[in-house]
Amino acid sequence: MPGFDTDDDTTAAPEASPVKILVAGGFGVGKTTLVEAISEIDPLRTEERLTSAGVGVDDLDGIENKTATTVAMDFGRITLTDAGVALYLFGTPGQERFWFMWDDLLRGALGAIVLVDTRRLDRGFPAIDFFENRGLPFVVGANCFDGEQPYTAEEIKAALHLTDPDTPVLLLDARSREDVRGCLLSLLERLITQARVPAPV
Residue 126 carries which DSSP code? H
CB distance 88 to 20 below 8 Å: yes
Q: Which of 182, 178, 19 is nearest to 85 (CA)?
A: 19
Q: Assign residue 119 a region: left if phi > 0, alpha if psi is -120 to 50, beta otherwise?
A: alpha
| pLDDT tens digits, 177-187 | 999 999 999 99
In 10 A of CB 152, how many CB atoms?
A: 12
CB distance 148 to 179 below 8 Å: no
| pLDDT tens digits, 22-40 | 999 988 899 999 999 999 9
pLDDT tens, the chain, 201 aa long: 444 344 444 455 568 899 999 999 988 899 999 999 999 999 887 655 544 444 444 454 554 454 455 445 789 999 999 889 999 999 988 666 566 788 899 999 999 999 999 999 998 999 999 999 999 999 999 999 877 889 999 999 999 999 999 999 999 999 999 999 999 999 999 999 988 866 565
Helix axes 177-196, 31-38, angle to 10 degrees: 90
Kindly state the helix (H) or strand (E) to which residue 19 belongs, with its residue range.
strand 17-25
Could you give phi then psi for residue 37, rounded to 5 degrees? -65, -30
Distance of alpha carbon 141 from its chain centroid, rounded?
Answer: 8
* pLDDT at site 83: 85
15 Cβ contact partners less than 8 Å away, ≥ 6 residues apart:
none
Q: Which of 35, 27, 13 is nearest to 88 (CA)?
A: 35
In 10 A of CB 148, how many CB atoms?
A: 7
Sheet of strand 85-91: strand arrangement:
74-80, 85-91, 17-25, 109-116, 138-143, 169-172
What DSSP string describes 151-192? S-HHHHHHHHT-SSTT--EEEE-TT-HHHHHHHHHHHHHHHH
